[in-house]
Structure 1
Amino acid sequence: MTKLVLTLHVLAAIVAIGPVTVAASMFPATARRAASAPDGEAIARARILHRICRVYAQIAVTVPVFGFATASLMHVLGSPWLITSIALTAAAAGVLGLLVLPRQHAVLTALTEATAGSRIDSATTARLAMLTGVFNLLWATVTVLMIIRPGSTTGA
Protein backbone atom coordinates (compact mmCIF):
# COMPACT_ATOMS: atom_id res chain seq x y z
CA MET A 1 0.00 0.00 0.00
CA THR A 2 2.85 2.38 0.85
CA LYS A 3 4.40 1.98 -2.60
CA LEU A 4 1.08 2.70 -4.29
CA VAL A 5 0.43 5.86 -2.27
CA LEU A 6 4.05 7.01 -2.74
CA THR A 7 3.72 6.44 -6.48
CA LEU A 8 0.50 8.48 -6.56
CA HIS A 9 2.23 11.23 -4.55
CA VAL A 10 5.16 11.42 -6.98
CA LEU A 11 2.92 11.25 -10.05
CA ALA A 12 0.68 13.99 -8.67
CA ALA A 13 3.73 16.16 -8.03
CA ILE A 14 5.03 15.66 -11.57
CA VAL A 15 1.67 16.06 -13.30
CA ALA A 16 0.38 18.97 -11.20
CA ILE A 17 3.38 20.98 -10.05
CA GLY A 18 5.37 20.69 -13.29
CA PRO A 19 2.85 22.52 -15.49
CA VAL A 20 2.34 25.25 -12.88
CA THR A 21 6.05 25.97 -12.62
CA VAL A 22 6.50 26.07 -16.39
CA ALA A 23 3.38 28.12 -17.16
CA ALA A 24 3.99 30.55 -14.29
CA SER A 25 7.58 31.02 -15.45
CA MET A 26 6.45 31.73 -19.01
CA PHE A 27 3.70 34.16 -18.03
CA PRO A 28 5.74 37.33 -17.27
CA ALA A 29 7.61 37.28 -20.58
CA THR A 30 4.41 36.50 -22.47
CA ALA A 31 2.65 39.37 -20.71
CA ARG A 32 5.52 41.75 -21.57
CA ARG A 33 5.25 40.77 -25.23
CA ALA A 34 1.48 41.22 -25.13
CA ALA A 35 1.87 44.66 -23.52
CA SER A 36 4.44 45.86 -26.04
CA ALA A 37 2.51 44.67 -29.07
CA PRO A 38 -1.07 44.14 -27.94
CA ASP A 39 -2.94 41.80 -30.20
CA GLY A 40 -5.55 39.18 -29.54
CA GLU A 41 -3.17 36.27 -30.00
CA ALA A 42 -0.56 37.50 -27.50
CA ILE A 43 -3.20 38.20 -24.87
CA ALA A 44 -4.78 34.80 -25.54
CA ARG A 45 -1.41 33.11 -24.86
CA ALA A 46 -1.12 34.93 -21.54
CA ARG A 47 -4.70 33.98 -20.68
CA ILE A 48 -3.99 30.31 -21.43
CA LEU A 49 -0.88 30.33 -19.24
CA HIS A 50 -2.87 31.86 -16.39
CA ARG A 51 -5.59 29.25 -16.81
CA ILE A 52 -3.01 26.45 -16.73
CA CYS A 53 -1.65 27.90 -13.48
CA ARG A 54 -5.11 28.14 -11.90
CA VAL A 55 -6.32 24.68 -12.94
CA TYR A 56 -3.13 22.82 -12.10
CA ALA A 57 -2.82 24.67 -8.78
CA GLN A 58 -6.19 23.19 -7.86
CA ILE A 59 -5.09 19.73 -8.97
CA ALA A 60 -1.86 20.16 -6.96
CA VAL A 61 -3.86 19.88 -3.74
CA THR A 62 -3.58 16.12 -4.25
CA VAL A 63 0.21 16.29 -3.77
CA PRO A 64 0.17 17.03 -0.02
CA VAL A 65 -2.85 14.74 0.45
CA PHE A 66 -0.90 11.78 -0.94
CA GLY A 67 2.20 13.06 0.86
CA PHE A 68 0.50 12.97 4.25
CA ALA A 69 -0.85 9.50 3.48
CA THR A 70 2.61 8.29 2.50
CA ALA A 71 4.25 9.83 5.57
CA SER A 72 1.61 8.27 7.80
CA LEU A 73 2.13 4.83 6.28
CA MET A 74 5.91 5.21 6.64
CA HIS A 75 5.57 6.49 10.25
CA VAL A 76 7.65 9.63 9.59
CA LEU A 77 5.07 12.35 10.32
CA GLY A 78 7.21 13.80 13.12
CA SER A 79 10.48 13.84 11.20
CA PRO A 80 12.16 17.26 10.98
CA TRP A 81 12.78 16.96 7.22
CA LEU A 82 9.09 16.25 6.66
CA ILE A 83 7.92 19.10 8.89
CA THR A 84 10.29 21.41 6.99
CA SER A 85 8.88 20.11 3.69
CA ILE A 86 5.34 20.72 4.89
CA ALA A 87 6.20 24.29 5.89
CA LEU A 88 7.91 24.95 2.55
CA THR A 89 4.96 23.42 0.67
CA ALA A 90 2.58 25.69 2.57
CA ALA A 91 4.80 28.67 1.77
CA ALA A 92 4.88 27.70 -1.93
CA ALA A 93 1.08 27.35 -1.98
CA GLY A 94 0.78 30.75 -0.29
CA VAL A 95 3.10 32.42 -2.78
CA LEU A 96 1.19 30.90 -5.68
CA GLY A 97 -2.33 31.44 -4.37
CA LEU A 98 -1.89 34.81 -2.67
CA LEU A 99 0.75 36.50 -4.80
CA VAL A 100 1.36 34.94 -8.21
CA LEU A 101 -2.17 34.07 -9.37
CA PRO A 102 -3.76 37.38 -8.28
CA ARG A 103 -0.96 39.34 -9.97
CA GLN A 104 -1.34 37.31 -13.14
CA HIS A 105 -5.05 38.10 -13.07
CA ALA A 106 -4.34 41.82 -12.58
CA VAL A 107 -1.91 41.81 -15.51
CA LEU A 108 -4.50 40.09 -17.71
CA THR A 109 -7.11 42.64 -16.67
CA ALA A 110 -4.73 45.46 -17.54
CA LEU A 111 -3.94 43.88 -20.89
CA THR A 112 -7.58 43.50 -21.86
CA GLU A 113 -8.85 46.89 -20.68
CA ALA A 114 -8.96 49.62 -23.28
CA THR A 115 -7.83 52.50 -21.06
CA ALA A 116 -4.22 53.62 -21.42
CA GLY A 117 -3.87 54.03 -17.65
CA SER A 118 -4.31 50.30 -17.13
CA ARG A 119 -1.24 49.33 -19.15
CA ILE A 120 1.40 47.28 -17.40
CA ASP A 121 5.01 48.29 -17.03
CA SER A 122 8.16 46.17 -16.94
CA ALA A 123 8.44 46.52 -13.14
CA THR A 124 5.09 44.76 -12.73
CA THR A 125 6.15 41.76 -14.79
CA ALA A 126 9.61 41.77 -13.18
CA ARG A 127 8.02 41.50 -9.71
CA LEU A 128 5.76 38.74 -10.98
CA ALA A 129 8.79 36.90 -12.40
CA MET A 130 10.57 37.26 -9.06
CA LEU A 131 7.60 35.87 -7.13
CA THR A 132 7.35 33.00 -9.60
CA GLY A 133 11.04 32.32 -9.04
CA VAL A 134 10.45 32.19 -5.28
CA PHE A 135 7.60 29.73 -5.84
CA ASN A 136 9.83 27.56 -8.06
CA LEU A 137 12.71 27.70 -5.57
CA LEU A 138 10.44 26.59 -2.74
CA TRP A 139 9.25 23.59 -4.77
CA ALA A 140 12.81 22.74 -5.80
CA THR A 141 13.83 22.75 -2.13
CA VAL A 142 10.93 20.47 -1.21
CA THR A 143 11.93 18.13 -4.02
CA VAL A 144 15.51 17.97 -2.77
CA LEU A 145 14.29 17.26 0.77
CA MET A 146 12.10 14.45 -0.54
CA ILE A 147 15.00 12.87 -2.43
CA ILE A 148 17.87 13.44 0.03
CA ARG A 149 16.13 13.13 3.34
CA PRO A 150 17.87 12.26 6.58
CA GLY A 151 17.41 8.64 7.51
CA SER A 152 16.70 7.57 3.94
CA THR A 153 16.56 3.83 3.49
CA THR A 154 17.53 3.97 -0.19
CA GLY A 155 21.25 3.94 0.57
CA ALA A 156 21.80 6.77 -1.91
Structure 2
Amino acid sequence: MSAVLLAVHVLVAIVAIGPVCVAASMFPPEARRALGDDPGAAARLPVLARICRTYALVGIAVPVFGLATASSMGVLTEPWVLVSIVLTVAAAGVLAGMVLPRQRVLLEGAGPRDALAASTGRLAAATGVFNLLWAVVTVLMIVRPGSSTGV
Protein backbone atom coordinates (compact mmCIF):
# COMPACT_ATOMS: atom_id res chain seq x y z
CA MET A 1 0.00 0.00 0.00
CA SER A 2 2.88 2.38 0.74
CA ALA A 3 4.15 2.00 -2.81
CA VAL A 4 0.76 2.93 -4.27
CA LEU A 5 0.43 5.96 -1.98
CA LEU A 6 3.96 7.07 -2.80
CA ALA A 7 3.34 6.71 -6.54
CA VAL A 8 0.13 8.74 -6.33
CA HIS A 9 1.85 11.36 -4.14
CA VAL A 10 4.70 11.79 -6.65
CA LEU A 11 2.38 11.82 -9.67
CA VAL A 12 0.06 14.42 -8.13
CA ALA A 13 3.07 16.52 -7.15
CA ILE A 14 4.38 16.48 -10.72
CA VAL A 15 0.99 17.05 -12.35
CA ALA A 16 -0.24 19.71 -9.90
CA ILE A 17 2.74 21.61 -8.54
CA GLY A 18 4.73 21.70 -11.77
CA PRO A 19 2.11 23.69 -13.71
CA VAL A 20 1.62 26.12 -10.84
CA CYS A 21 5.37 26.78 -10.66
CA VAL A 22 5.64 27.31 -14.42
CA ALA A 23 2.47 29.40 -14.88
CA ALA A 24 3.23 31.52 -11.81
CA SER A 25 6.76 32.14 -13.11
CA MET A 26 5.45 33.15 -16.52
CA PHE A 27 2.88 35.57 -15.10
CA PRO A 28 5.13 38.52 -14.03
CA PRO A 29 6.93 38.92 -17.38
CA GLU A 30 3.62 38.58 -19.23
CA ALA A 31 2.11 41.21 -16.93
CA ARG A 32 5.00 43.56 -17.73
CA ARG A 33 4.41 42.99 -21.45
CA ALA A 34 0.68 43.60 -20.97
CA LEU A 35 1.42 46.87 -19.16
CA GLY A 36 3.50 47.80 -22.20
CA ASP A 37 0.37 47.43 -24.33
CA ASP A 38 1.07 43.97 -25.75
CA PRO A 39 -2.44 42.65 -26.49
CA GLY A 40 -1.18 39.07 -26.76
CA ALA A 41 0.28 39.22 -23.27
CA ALA A 42 -2.92 40.74 -21.91
CA ALA A 43 -4.85 37.81 -23.38
CA ARG A 44 -2.49 35.25 -21.82
CA LEU A 45 -2.66 36.62 -18.27
CA PRO A 46 -6.13 35.24 -17.41
CA VAL A 47 -5.09 31.82 -18.71
CA LEU A 48 -1.95 31.78 -16.57
CA ALA A 49 -3.90 32.92 -13.51
CA ARG A 50 -6.55 30.24 -14.10
CA ILE A 51 -3.86 27.57 -14.39
CA CYS A 52 -2.40 28.72 -11.06
CA ARG A 53 -5.78 28.71 -9.28
CA THR A 54 -6.96 25.40 -10.73
CA TYR A 55 -3.77 23.47 -10.13
CA ALA A 56 -3.38 25.01 -6.68
CA LEU A 57 -6.68 23.35 -5.77
CA VAL A 58 -5.56 20.04 -7.30
CA GLY A 59 -2.26 20.50 -5.43
CA ILE A 60 -4.05 20.09 -2.11
CA ALA A 61 -3.87 16.37 -2.86
CA VAL A 62 -0.05 16.48 -2.65
CA PRO A 63 0.21 16.93 1.14
CA VAL A 64 -2.83 14.71 1.67
CA PHE A 65 -1.16 11.79 -0.11
CA GLY A 66 2.19 12.78 1.38
CA LEU A 67 0.85 12.50 4.91
CA ALA A 68 -0.85 9.20 4.07
CA THR A 69 2.39 7.88 2.57
CA ALA A 70 4.54 9.01 5.51
CA SER A 71 2.07 7.49 7.94
CA SER A 72 1.97 4.16 6.11
CA MET A 73 5.78 4.08 5.98
CA GLY A 74 6.09 4.96 9.66
CA VAL A 75 8.18 8.07 9.03
CA LEU A 76 5.65 10.75 9.95
CA THR A 77 7.78 11.95 12.88
CA GLU A 78 11.11 11.95 11.02
CA PRO A 79 12.74 15.40 10.96
CA TRP A 80 12.91 15.55 7.14
CA VAL A 81 9.17 14.86 6.93
CA LEU A 82 8.35 17.46 9.57
CA VAL A 83 10.52 20.07 7.82
CA SER A 84 8.85 19.17 4.52
CA ILE A 85 5.42 19.66 6.10
CA VAL A 86 6.41 23.09 7.44
CA LEU A 87 7.86 24.11 4.07
CA THR A 88 4.76 22.85 2.25
CA VAL A 89 2.54 24.92 4.54
CA ALA A 90 4.82 27.91 3.91
CA ALA A 91 4.61 27.38 0.14
CA ALA A 92 0.82 27.17 0.34
CA GLY A 93 0.81 30.37 2.38
CA VAL A 94 2.98 32.20 -0.16
CA LEU A 95 0.76 31.02 -3.01
CA ALA A 96 -2.55 31.81 -1.31
CA GLY A 97 -1.40 34.95 0.50
CA MET A 98 0.87 36.62 -2.03
CA VAL A 99 1.02 35.08 -5.50
CA LEU A 100 -2.67 34.57 -6.28
CA PRO A 101 -3.84 37.89 -4.76
CA ARG A 102 -1.14 39.85 -6.62
CA GLN A 103 -2.10 38.11 -9.85
CA ARG A 104 -5.70 39.16 -9.22
CA VAL A 105 -4.67 42.80 -8.67
CA LEU A 106 -2.70 42.81 -11.91
CA LEU A 107 -5.58 41.19 -13.80
CA GLU A 108 -7.96 43.86 -12.54
CA GLY A 109 -5.48 46.53 -13.59
CA ALA A 110 -6.70 48.96 -10.96
CA GLY A 111 -4.21 51.66 -10.10
CA PRO A 112 -1.47 53.66 -11.74
CA ARG A 113 0.74 51.88 -14.27
CA ASP A 114 3.85 52.58 -12.15
CA ALA A 115 2.31 50.85 -9.14
CA LEU A 116 1.21 47.91 -11.27
CA ALA A 117 4.68 47.64 -12.81
CA ALA A 118 6.24 47.63 -9.34
CA SER A 119 3.76 44.96 -8.34
CA THR A 120 5.12 42.65 -11.05
CA GLY A 121 8.51 42.72 -9.33
CA ARG A 122 7.00 41.82 -5.97
CA LEU A 123 4.98 39.08 -7.63
CA ALA A 124 8.11 37.70 -9.29
CA ALA A 125 9.87 37.63 -5.92
CA ALA A 126 6.96 35.87 -4.21
CA THR A 127 6.81 33.36 -7.06
CA GLY A 128 10.53 32.73 -6.69
CA VAL A 129 10.10 32.05 -2.97
CA PHE A 130 7.19 29.68 -3.74
CA ASN A 131 9.30 27.79 -6.30
CA LEU A 132 12.31 27.68 -3.99
CA LEU A 133 10.23 26.21 -1.16
CA TRP A 134 9.00 23.44 -3.46
CA ALA A 135 12.54 22.80 -4.69
CA VAL A 136 13.74 22.33 -1.10
CA VAL A 137 10.82 20.01 -0.34
CA THR A 138 11.65 17.99 -3.46
CA VAL A 139 15.30 17.68 -2.42
CA LEU A 140 14.24 16.59 1.08
CA MET A 141 11.96 13.95 -0.44
CA ILE A 142 14.85 12.59 -2.49
CA VAL A 143 17.71 12.84 0.00
CA ARG A 144 15.74 12.08 3.19
CA PRO A 145 18.42 13.04 5.71
CA GLY A 146 18.85 10.49 8.46
CA SER A 147 17.02 7.75 6.59
CA SER A 148 18.66 4.48 5.72
CA THR A 149 18.82 5.60 2.08
CA GLY A 150 19.79 9.22 2.81
CA VAL A 151 23.07 10.62 1.59
Measured against the shorter chain, the TM-score band is over 0.9
Contact 2:106 2:116 in 1 (8 A): no
Deviations 1:10-34, CA, capped at 9 Å, x for gaps: 0000000000000000000000001
How far 1:38 moved relative to its partner? 4.5
1:131 to 110, 121, 126: 126
Deviation at 1:143, TM superposition (A): 0.4
Q: Deviations over 1:80-121 (max 9, x none)?
A: 1111000000000000011100000000000xx6xxx44354
Equivalence map 1:4-153=2 (5 Å): 4-39=4-39, 41-110=40-109, 117-119=111-113, 120-153=115-148
Output the aligned Cα RMSD: 1.5
Instruction: Measure how far apart 1:148 and its partner are.
Output: 0.4
* Rounded Cα–Cα distance in structure 2 between residues aligned with 1:24 and 1:55: 12
Which runs of 4 or more aligned residues in structure 1 lie more than 4 Å from their structure 2 counterparts after TM superposition? none
Residue ranges of structure 2 left out of the alignment (5+ in a row) = none
- Cα distance in 2, alignment partners of residues 106 and 67 from structure 1: 32
Asked whether the equivalents of residues 144 and 150 of structure 2 are also in contact (C-alpha less than 8 Å), the reply is no
CA offset at residue 153 of structure 1?
Answer: 3.9
Q: How does the TM-score come out when normalised to structure 2? A: 0.94
- Where does structure 1 lack aligned partners over 5 or more consecutive residues? none
Task: Return the offset for 1:61.
Answer: 0.2
How far the C-alpha of 1:43 sits from its partner, in A, is 1.4
Q: Work out whether residues 35 and 117 of structure 2, in 8 Å CA contact, stay in contact via their aligned partners in 1.
A: no
Q: 1:155 to 1:105 in 2, by over 3 A?
A: closer
Across the two proteins, how many residue pairs are aligned to each other?
150
Q: SS where residue 94 of structure 2 aligns? A: helix
Give the Å deviation of 1:123.
1.6
TM-score, normalised to structure 1's length?
Answer: 0.91
Report the CA distance shift for 1:67/1:49 in structure 2 as closer, same or farther (over 3 A): same
Indicate the percent of aligned positions where both proteins have the same amino acid.
61
